[in-house]
Amino acid sequence: MKSARIIKPKEPLEVQETENSKPNGSEVLIKVQSCGVCHSDIHLWKGGYTGPNGQFMKTTDRGVKYPLTPEHEIAGIVSEMGEDAKQIFKKDEKVMVYPWVGEGLCPACKTGNENLCDHPRSIGVYNDGGYAEYVLVPNYRYLLRIPDEIEVDIAATLSCSALTAYSAVKNAEIRPDNNVVIIGTGGLGLMAIQLAKAVFGARIIAIDIDDDKLKIARNNGADEIVNSKSNNAIQEIKEITDNSGADAVIDFVNNSKTVESDMQFLRRRAKVVLVGLFWWRVETKPDIYAY
């Protein structure tokens, strides 16, 4: 089969001919039909990312090995199955892949949080991923059938961006009467707006620095939009919430600046959920406490 692989960081991906894996036991071979492009693929391709103090955090220091076929947002059809998987799936079934595979033995895996595994084996990060004609999934339990009404292209991205947003929304412990501020209306923010609305019915206040993106946020279910470039953004949020502040803030930008302002419109007992790879520092003491 053909795979587009990162041979060495920062060099163009190379299309290589690699052996098709034969699935055994619970393994399933998926014929890839659609893949996302995630920001973490860029980090994989660059060989790392810049940390909080400007130092470069290398992916190889965290167990990534090159050459690697990247991409973890994968959807396609079942091609071949190991004996055990044949009882669960049929050939040609439309499926999406849960890529956050753990080794199954650490405390996180044992409590069902494989995505936080101490020794991750994520597909497309530590093992070959979706930029290939086929991908080997280590167990049928990492597959989810795609309902007919959902397109494969949409389903592919759900296992990363939608899942991250869903987890953030769930951790915010939103109630229907809550004012929920969502910072950042990129892919994750838009997912969170739709989920917070559909699952919890909360009132959503979307914040961004780009009016065009805010318009899209409104079309995706945001009840109120605020451009944080405006001088009185914090005041606007206070007014929208009748001066009570936000019951929850989900911050998808998560840098020192946004986190500092998050602290200024929190209601007592409010939850703050910070999403992202990067660390933050609050330099001023917030006058309202989250808990």
How many chain residues interact with Zn ion (CB under 5 A)? 8
Least distance (Å) from Zn ion to the CB of residue 190?
15
User: Applying CB under 5 A, which part among 107-115, 124-132, 271-279, 281-289 lies near Zn ion?
Assistant: 107-115
Least distance (Å) from Zn ion to the CB of residue 155?
14
Least distance (Å) from Zn ion to the CB of residue 145?
21
Kindly state the greatest CA–CA separation across the chain. Answer: 63
Q: Which is nearer to Zn ion, 39 or 218 (CB)?
A: 39
Question: What interhelical angle do 187-195 and 211-219 show, nearest 10?
Answer: 30
Q: Which residues within the stretch 109-148 sit at the binding site for Zn ion (CB under 5 A)? A: 109, 117
Q: Which is nearer to Zn ion, 70 or 245 (CB)?
A: 70
102 binds Zn ion (CB under 5 A): yes
Instruction: Give the separation between CA 159 and CA 166, rounded to whole angstroms.
Output: 10
Least distance (Å) from Zn ion to the CB of residue 57?
17
The answer to whether the CB of 81 falls within 8 A of the CB of 91 is: yes
User: Applying CB under 5 A, which part among 141-149, 157-165, 199-207, 211-219 lies near Zn ion?
Assistant: 157-165
Least distance (Å) from Zn ion to the CB of residue 119?
6
Q: Which is nearer to Zn ion, 162 or 222 (CB)?
A: 162
160 binds Zn ion (CB under 5 A): yes
Reduced to 3 states (helix: H, G, I; strand: E, B; else coil), residue 247 is: strand
The answer to whether the CB of 227 falls within 8 A of the CB of 220 is: no
Residue written as token pair 């090995």: 65
Q: Which residues within the stretch 33-62 sit at the binding site for Zn ion (CB under 5 A)? A: 38, 40
User: Applying CB under 5 A, which part among 75-83, 101-109, 171-179, 193-201 lies near Zn ion?
Assistant: 101-109
Output the 3-class SS for 105-146. Answer: CCHHHHCCCHHHCCCCCCECCCECCCCECEEEECCHHHEEEC
The answer to whether the CB of 244 falls within 8 A of the CB of 269 is: no
Least distance (Å) from Zn ion to the CB of residue 220?
20
> Is residue 212 within a helix (H) or strand (E), and if so which, with residue range?
helix 211-219
Task: Give the number of other CB atoms < 10 A from CB of residue 78.
Answer: 24
Q: Which is nearer to Zn ion, 73 or 262 (CB)?
A: 73
Contact set with Zn ion (CB under 5 A): 38, 40, 102-103, 106, 109, 117, 160
